[in-house]
Structure 1
Amino acid sequence: STIGFHVGGIVNVQVNEYVAIRPELLYSQAGYKYSFYRDFGFLAWEYNETAHWGNIILPVKVVGQYPLNDYIKLQAFVGPYASIVLDGRYEGNGMNVLGYPFEASGKIVPGKKPDNYSGETRYINPWDFGFNFGIGLQAYSFIFSVDYKLGLTDIQPHYSNSTAENNRGTDYTMKNKGVNFSIAYLFGCKK
């Protein structure tokens, strides 16, 4: 897990007192931490990697609201999202099988390159689709919320090696998952 931020704009379309539709357009950071250790008996190999990249995310939330009074509402929401990866970086370090330390770093770029392990650039699939759901509190024009993002798309790249491509998604998958804490301000909100 990694820590990042998100920033953007929202539109709150009030359907009635209890329901709103809330499309958002956000820049958000995502990433991963990965550790690998393999013991071959008399030799061992270890590697640790951290990566961060930016996304443009478009969630559309259906918001259920329960007014506590004229100015405070409890909220729960659910809805789909689509996102596209921009770019990022990774850094790693480890110990090879001969016991020598090494470091690795490079760019993460969106794209479906056939071979993900040539050079210092790592590729991930650019598109991600999923759902998010959460709870919030609207006080006057401020919204305080926490939500969970559940990615449904495997964002690991495709491979030119037929064995690796056939095992893609079976050995492991890369899916975006994350918890977001948000504070929003609704301009023009009277209550």
Structure 2
Amino acid sequence: NALQNEKEILQQELKTTKQQLRECQELYTTREVQHKQELEKCRIDLQATEVQQYLKQEIQRREDIHRTELTHQQEKLQSLAVEYKKLEDEFRDALKIEERRYQELFKTNEIIQKENELLQSSSTNIKQREESDRKMVNDLMVLVREQKQRLQERTKTNDNLTHQNKHLTTKLERAIDELKKIR
């Protein structure tokens, strides 16, 4: 942004300098015309040696002034052109740097998006596994409860059978003892 502003300022100065040069040239032309008109009004004999010498000196003086101003304007124009070229080069370099940064950010963004997709996919898989594991645990808990109930029922049944066996054994022992006594 600053480079753009500086570029615009330099372009404006260049235009101004060119305009000033044109104005100087026009002024020179205008003054030359005015001078010729003034000479005509005076109706001086232009072929006179004094007049010719004066005119040559004045023309030479004006041309020297014009050359000096023109040289100055051209130097200024060249200086501005060099500055403008430097600014253009700096701006191009800045654009290249920004392009590289953008490409790096773009690549990083793509990598992050891919990683995010993988993480989301993994997260979905993990959630599905957790749900499956939860169902399996619930099913196993139901089976464990059922097995526990069956074991409790068998234990009760075994306890009852053991109790009945003991009772029968006790009865049989008594009966055997009574039979032994009877014999």
TM-score, length-scaled by structure 2: 0.18
Structure number with the higher strand fraction is 1
> Structure 1 or 2: larger helix share?
2
Q: Which is bigger in relative contact order (C-alpha 8 A, separation at least 6)? A: 2
TM-score scaled by structure 1? 0.17
Q: Choose 1 or 2 for highest CA Rg.
A: 2
